[in-house]
Amino acid sequence: METVEDRVKSRLATAVFATCVLLVVVVAGRGLAQAWSLAPDLGHGWALPWLLGWLLWERLDGTSPEKTRAAPDWRAWAGLAGGVAVFAGTRLFLEPFPLWPTLLWMQAVLVYGFALAAAGLAGGRSWVRALAGPLALVFTAVPWPTVVENALLHPLREGLAYGVAEVLNFVNVPAFAEGATIRVTGGPVGVDEACGGMRSLQASLMIAWFAGELARMRAGRRVLLLGCAALAAVAGNFLRAAVLTWLTDAGGVELFNSWHDPAGYLALGCTLIVVVVLGWCWRDRTGTRKAGIVDAAAAGKPVLSWAQAAWALVALTVVLGAEAGVRAWFASGQVRLATAPRWAVAWPAGADQFKTYELTSAAKEMLRPDVFTSVSWRTADGGDRAGYYIAWERGSGARNVPFLHSPEVCLPSVGNDLAWRGGPVEVSPGDGLTLPFEVYEFRQHGRLKHVFRVVWDPDEGRAAAPMESDAGLQTWLSRQWADVAGRRIRVRIQVLALAVNGATDRAEAERVFREEIARLVKTNGH
């Protein structure tokens, strides 16, 4: 016969078990939360805790646990040990590379597996069966694997661009598509910008999975709902791209920027409404899908032993230890100070027709710079100049962003054709500083435009280099490991670009560039 003291001990063990499991999920899920903050396409991930909490409460409230006090066996302890080892390894790399898709999927699998293991220890197989579906919602809040991005999403964006161009031509709006860019009279429109990176696709799949679990749909209906959600997201993005391109043709880039975000929210809202309505219409009305679910009043609560609580407590201890070790490893690294002098840019604010330009909301969301200036002006001899300066002072985004958004990527989208790329052109503004600039030559309506650009790592005191496209897996991994081994989590990058318009050839463009850069770049000693 169970005494009052036994009941108190069991309840205390249950409370310790539940608290430790919750904390392990929170700590282990930190990598996912960091990705939700950094990647615009993953912002819907912040809805995951609320949706998942709703589903877990609904399932556990009416699912009777198996009354057992069995201690965790060797499989539970071995699984815990292996999971923590993998968690520590992934966290070590996710700290400097928080948007690495493969590692984020591994973290999601670890969280999912741990939660199911805890459910099995607390409520037996009935809880595992009841929670397997709802917990899988976590996989809708991780970035697309690279293979899916390349094989599915990139062709989908190009297909949308060609489809929008055909529709606009049908309604007498001249348009043609180049890759994922639609060209109209008012300017080019990139499907990546007009469709917000297809972020509503993943958000729609999350809501569809949630609706299927909440309504306890049969497998066939769930698959159909997921397919309809994907089609609704694609249709919503197609309409958004068509409307924004039409607005660009009518009012130019300014009108596009003013409608970019409202059109995106409207498309996402309409898509989610379609998914919710379909989920409601296809919900199970017979109650046959509730086999194994009992009345909430009759459902017992799990009664746990201290052996089970000890398993959860050990899990929390080692996960916290791994997290603390990762943070201590990177915190112990000293920021390497470059021996080269620091430099800054002083734009000629008093020049004729001097103008400054702000980042659009879409570009700001994509680049996330700490410093951004973009200007244009006219020289005393009538030459047109333009330039921009971008700096990232913290975080890890600067490892890739400066190379993803280079002149050869951006300028063709506004009607410039890349004719030649060369360099480096080295300039020495003073104090022993040497900046190597890449050179891009573009043609637009028969006129030459030369762009000189440097991507500088101030901590290393040298130009930053992107990973070569043909680099092998071993080379790529060794470069990632170099940052981990070097405890380098914060990356600072400076980017300076100067455009010389109207030069007759490369020699004249370089001569003008050297004259301008000597006036613009200031070192510590000047």
State the SS3 of 135-165: HHHHHHHCCCCHHHHHHHHHHHHHHHHHHHH
pLDDT of res. 68: 55
Read off the pLDDT of residues 325-348 as tens digits, 9 standing for 90 and up. 999 998 876 555 455 578 999 999
pLDDT of res. 438: 93
DSSP assignment string, 308-329: HHHHHHHHHHHHHHHHHHHHHH
Measured CA distances, 403 to 393, 456, 468 (Å): 16, 12, 11
Beta bridge partners of 181: 178, 190
pLDDT confidence of 294, banded at 50, 70, 90?
Answer: very low
Q: What angle do CA 267, 270, 275 make, to 5 degrees?
A: 125
pLDDT of res. 386: 92
Q: To which H or E segment does residue 201 belong?
A: helix 199-214
Exposure string for 355-387, b = 16+ CB within 10 A, e = fewer = eeeebbebbeebbebeebbbbbbeeeeeeebbb
Average pLDDT over residues 441-470: 82
Read off the pLDDT of residues 172-215 as tens digits, 9 standing for 90 and up. 888 888 777 788 887 777 766 544 445 678 889 999 999 999 88
Mean confidence (pLDDT) of the chain = 83
Lowest mean pLDDT among 8-22, 86-100, 369-383, 465-479: 465-479
Lowest mean pLDDT among 82-86, 244-248, 392-396, 464-468: 464-468
Exposure string for 32-46, b = 16+ CB within 10 A, e = fewer = bbbbbeebebbbbbe
pLDDT of res. 131: 92
pLDDT of res. 188: 73
Q: Report the share of the chain in percent with pLDDT over 90.
A: 32
DSSP assignment string, 100-140: -HHHHHHHHHHHHHHHHHHHHHHH-HHHHHHHHHHHGGGGG
- Judged against a pLDDT cut of 50, whether residue 229 lies above it is answered with yes
Read off the pLDDT of residues 491-519 as tens digits, 9 standing for 90 and up. 889 999 999 988 888 999 999 999 999 89
Q: Is 173 left (phi over 0), alpha (psi -120 to 50) or beta?
A: beta
Tokens of 70: 């069995």
Average pLDDT over residues 245-270: 82
Lowest mean pLDDT among 32-36, 144-148, 482-486: 144-148
pLDDT of res. 105: 94
Instruction: Round to whole Å and give the CA distance between 41 and 269.
Output: 15
Q: What angle do CA 74, 75, 77 make, to 5 degrees?
A: 65
Decide if 24 contacts 83 (C-beta within 8 A): no
Instruction: Round to whole Å and give the CA distance between 471 and 447.
Output: 36
Average pLDDT over residues 417-423: 85
Decide if 345 contacts 526 (C-beta within 8 A): no
pTM, rounded to two decimals: 0.79
Measured CA distances, 81 to 74, 261, 318, 319 (Å): 10, 46, 9, 10
- Judged against a pLDDT cut of 90, whether residue 269 lies above it is answered with no
Displacement of CA 502 from its chain's centroid (Å) = 39
Average pLDDT over residues 109-133: 91
Average pLDDT over residues 15-32: 93
